[in-house]
Amino acid sequence: MDKFVIEGGRRLEGSVRVSGSKNAVLPVLAATLLTDEPVVIPNAPDVSDVRQMLKVLEGLGSKWERSSEGVLTVRSAPVPHNEAGWDCVRKMRGSVAVLGPVLARTQHARVSLPGGCVIGVRPVDLHIKGMRALGATVELDSGDIIATATGGLRGEEMYLGGAQGPTVLGTANVMMAATLARGRTVIHGAACEPEVVDLGECLNKMGARISGLGSPRIEIEGVDRLHGCTHSVIPDRIEAGTLVIAGSITGSRVRVDGCRPDHLMILLERLREAGLPHQFGTDWIETGAFDIRRKRPKPTDVTTLPHPAFPTDLQAQWMALMTMADGMSLVTETIFTDRYMHVSELMRMGANIRRQGASSIVMGPGHLKGTQVMASDLRASAALVLAGLVAEGTTEVHRVYHIDRGYARIEARLAELGACIARVDDHPDAIATDTAPAPDVIVPVRAAKVAKPAKPAPAKASAPKAQPKPAAKPAKAPVKARGTRR
């Protein structure tokens, strides 16, 4: 198991390119089960969630290969296996997206209820509702979803919204199943997220007939079969937003290339409200350099809601930024109301945050100090890394396997911008004890390799007295954490 060791107080500088979207590529990978022809994804990100999804597909009989240039090619079996057990899907919620394609292709599917980050209840009731609307018989048995559609699925008109609004993955699941259903399917209350639009565009390339993408009403005309295609997924808007916030929280000039600013307009609007300098173009966003100790961000109020409102996947990162603001900010989470496990860790670093129901009140400006913190989920770990970039001293972020689920080599990419961040083995002999520069100095540094800790030198025992004292404990030599290990 690894951890990140971060020396705070470094200003960033430079440009970084955004990867393909993790949240978009997972349902696209599931869609490869709808045809036995190859589907080529030139820009699939090399993150652990994608690798896990490929294992799920392997268990269903698919073959895949990734070229040296990173191009991913996936081909389903002529007759896919129709069972995805707990061992396959327990690590990732996105794996439930295979339910619709397998059911449509084989008329029977048994998929274990999925795992993933602990961020609150995320039921699959709307997935089941959609499959039943398409004519399937669905039941739960021993933690598995068992769906049967003898004679095939049939198109139907349905409302797919829930108590907390539209379901992104549920919309994707039903949309994929409906492509091979007989007749017309209309989904009311469909999710409008860019990842749903991207999946629909991929399915249309495969021969599907889908209209209304990006609106709450999606219409699908069923077809007899789909074929292979080549499809580049959209840039990862959450990764782009995280990198933009990294530039803003450190008062740095950071240019994020290859992104879609139109997918992040709410974030750019909140940056404007906070008085944080930035510019953007067709496919780039650039934050402006300023002294964050002299020019604090203005406080803001943010409420997470379905797209195009503020995304829940940027809530934790925005909260880290607001700890630097001059005044009281309010962050309200309406999508996953338990998604506040990063709050206690930010408070360990010195943030002044109070939880009140579905909201968190952030009182700034805080004086963050480095300490040891624990990542609880993918986006919380990103927030702790951002806080570590500006904290005084050394921050150690444990359980970084969470961040590896959605960010490819994030420590190396931040180091290339000038951050002092290292990935090291998470064991007692690899603890860094360096301190950051004086608070009034922000100096760009180049990342270097992490030095291994020196062996402790034995201490000399003190001279005996009337009451003998035990020998002093050996002192560990300080270790500097500089750079990355890829």
Q: Transcribe 289-326 into DSSP letters.
A: P--TTTSPPPP-EEEE-STTSB-GGGHHHHHHHHTTSS
Range of the domain at 343: 10-18+235-397
Q: Are residues 35 and 102 in the same domain?
A: yes
Specify which residues 63 forms β-bridges with. 75
Q: Are residues 305 and 354 in the same domain?
A: yes
Q: Are residues 240 and 363 in the same domain?
A: yes
Tell whether the model's pLDDT for residue 116 goes beyond 50: no
The conformation of residue 162, written as its DSSP 8-state character, comes to B
- Residue 153's H or E segment, with its range, is none
Q: Are residues 242 and 387 in the same domain?
A: yes
* Residues 6 or more apart whose Cβ sits within 8 Å of residue 13: 252, 253, 254, 289, 417, 418, 444
Question: What is the rounded distance in angstroms from the CA atom of residue 73 to the CA atom of residue 91?
Answer: 23
Asked if 345 contacts 399 with a C-beta cutoff of 8 angstroms, the reply is: no
Q: What is the DSSP string of 183-244?
A: SEEEEET----HHHHHHHHHHHHTT-EEE-TTSSEEEEE--S----EE-PPPB-HHHHHHHH
Higher-pLDDT residue of 7, 430: 7
Highest mean pLDDT: which range of 15-19, 435-439, 476-480: 15-19
pLDDT at 186: 98
Asked if residue 457 belongs to a domain, the reply is no
Q: Are residues 183 and 321 in the same domain?
A: no
For 306-332, give one letter per residue: b (16+ CB within 10 A) or e: bbeebbbbbbbbbbbbbbbbeeebebb
Question: What is the rounded distance in angstroms from the CA atom of residue 154 to the CA atom of residue 134?
Answer: 5
Asked if residue 469 belongs to a domain, the reply is no
Average pLDDT rounded to a whole number, residues 249-276: 98
Tell me the per-residue pLDDT of 214-233, one tens digit each, with 9 for 90 and over: 999 999 999 999 999 999 99
Q: Are residues 152 and 49 in the same domain?
A: yes
Specify which residues 162 forms β-bridges with. 165
Q: What is the identity of the amino acid at 222?
A: G
Tell whether the model's pLDDT for residue 65 goes beyond 70: yes
Query: Among residues 340, 364, 397, which one ends one of the domains?
Result: 397
Q: What is the identity of the amino acid at 356?
A: Q
Alpha helices, DSSP H only, in 114-157? 125-133
CA dihedral (127, 214, 189, 313) positive or negative: positive
User: What are φ and ψ of residue 439, in 5° steps?
Assistant: -55, -30
Helices (H) and strands (E) in the chain, counts: 14, 24
CATH number of the domain that residue 206 is part of: 3.65.10.10
Question: What is the rounded distance in angstroms from the CA atom of residue 385 to the CA atom of residue 144?
Answer: 36
Q: Are residues 45 and 101 in the same domain?
A: yes
Question: What is the rounded distance in angstroms from the CA atom of residue 94 to the CA atom of residue 105?
Answer: 19
Higher-pLDDT residue of 434, 58: 58
Q: Catalytic residues, which ones?
A: 117
What percentage of the chain has pLDDT greater than the value 70?
86
Residue 466's pLDDT band (cuts 50, 70, 90): very low
* Residues 6 or more apart whose Cβ sits within 8 Å of residue 438: none
Tell whether the model's pLDDT for residue 343 goes beyond 50: yes
Tell whether the model's pLDDT for residue 462 goes beyond 50: no
Cβ neighbour number for residue 279 with a 10 Å cutoff: 12
Q: Are residues 115 and 147 in the same domain?
A: yes
pLDDT at 94: 78
Asked if 82 contacts 102 with a C-beta cutoff of 8 angstroms, the reply is: yes
Q: What is the DSSP string of 29-87?
A: HHHGGG-SS-EEETT----HHHHHHHHHHHHTT-EEEE-TT--EEEE--SS---EE-HH
pLDDT at 457: 52
What's the half-sphere exposure (Cβ side, CA atoms, 13 Å) at 388? 30
Q: Are residues 124 and 264 in the same domain?
A: no
Asked if residue 294 belongs to a domain, the reply is yes
Residues in the chain: 486
Q: Are residues 185 and 257 in the same domain?
A: no
* Cis, bond preceding 45 (omega within 30 deg of 0): no
Beta sheet of 72-75, edge-to-edge order: 63-66, 72-75, 39-41, 229-230
Q: How many domains does the chain contain in total? A: 2
Asked if 304 contacts 334 with a C-beta cutoff of 8 angstroms, the reply is: yes
The whole-chain average pLDDT of the chain stands at: 88
pLDDT at 443: 39
Query: Among residues 397, 420, 448, which one ends one of the domains?
Result: 397
Asked if residue 52 belongs to a domain, the reply is yes
Asked if 385 contacts 406 with a C-beta cutoff of 8 angstroms, the reply is: no
Question: What is the rounded distance in angstroms from the CA atom of residue 264 to the CA atom of residue 214?
Answer: 15
Query: Among residues 397, 419, 442, which one ends one of the domains?
Result: 397
> Tokens in use for 4?
């990140």
